[in-house]
Amino acid sequence: MKLKNKRILIIGGTSGFGKELALQCLQQGSYVSVIGRSNTHLKEFIATNMQHLSGVVLDATEQRQLADFFANHRAFDHIVSTLGGTMSGGFLDNSLVEFRKVIDDKFFANLQLAQLAVSQLNKGGSLTFTSGTGGHPSTASGAIVGNHAINLLVKGLAVEVAPEQKRINAVAPTWTVTGLWRDLSPAELQQQEKTVAASIPLERTAKIAEVASAYLYLIMNDFMTGQIINVDGGVSAL
């Protein structure tokens, strides 16, 4: 599929994987809309890439804000979501409140998005989520539950929307240096990257562009649906 003049929405598109994907889509000649939470990040991104790029600041986990957005925009050809957070600690080391929040942010926020967004996809369009690989249930329990829930969502939705000729997929990266870890100091981030790299068969972490290219592939391949692409340097093979 050619992406020239296609309308693409990226939720979480002002930093990390979403921002890089937006740039790759713009290079393909697409019209790209991004949703972010940071007005500063959005203004900086829009200012440097004015042509064919637009954006809005809102909380995409809030149903009313998201519904209002779709009500005021024409249908999209492709929608990508990077919604979701992270969690450390096992099943006994976190409160139920913390568990519910990470699963809400990962699974229920994306389920809500799907219920609102599928009708806003043009025929032949796609919705791509973000899952994840790596970690161990005893040290990353909530995040793993959320990722498995996304994988189930992808497979179920793919069958539901196939008669409408719409596609559902997900990209599953492992730990990658992005803005998600902005609360770590440079030294802490470097040490975390070194520790993670030692557990990856390719002995390094991913580049943001490598992960973003998987989203682009899923958007462009019209025969891909119900699939989760692991971009993890071999972690999922262990």
The pLDDT assigned to 102 comes to 93
Helix (H, G, I), strand (E, B) or coil at 101: helix
Query: What is the domain partition of the chain in residue ranges?
Result: 7-229
pLDDT of residue 177: 86
Q: Which DSSP symbol is given to 206? A: P
Looking at residue 135, what is its pLDDT? 87
**Cβ contacts of residue 140 below 8 Å, gap of 6+?**
86, 87, 88, 89, 134
The yes/no answer on whether domain 7-229 falls in CATH 3.30.300.30 is no
The whole-angstrom separation of Cα 201 and Cα 194 is 13
pTM of the model: 0.95
Per-residue pLDDT of the chain (238 residues; tens, 9 = 90+): 789 999 999 999 899 999 999 999 999 999 999 999 989 989 999 888 768 999 999 999 999 999 999 999 999 999 999 999 887 889 998 899 999 999 999 999 999 999 999 999 999 999 999 999 998 888 888 999 999 999 999 999 999 999 999 999 999 999 998 877 777 788 888 898 999 999 999 999 999 999 999 999 999 999 999 999 999 999 999 9
For the residues of 21-87, what is the DSSP string, one character each?
Answer: HHHHHHHTT-EEEEEES-HHHHHHHHHH--TTEEEEE--TTSHHHHHHHHHTS--EEEEEE------
Token pair, residue 141, equals 């329990």
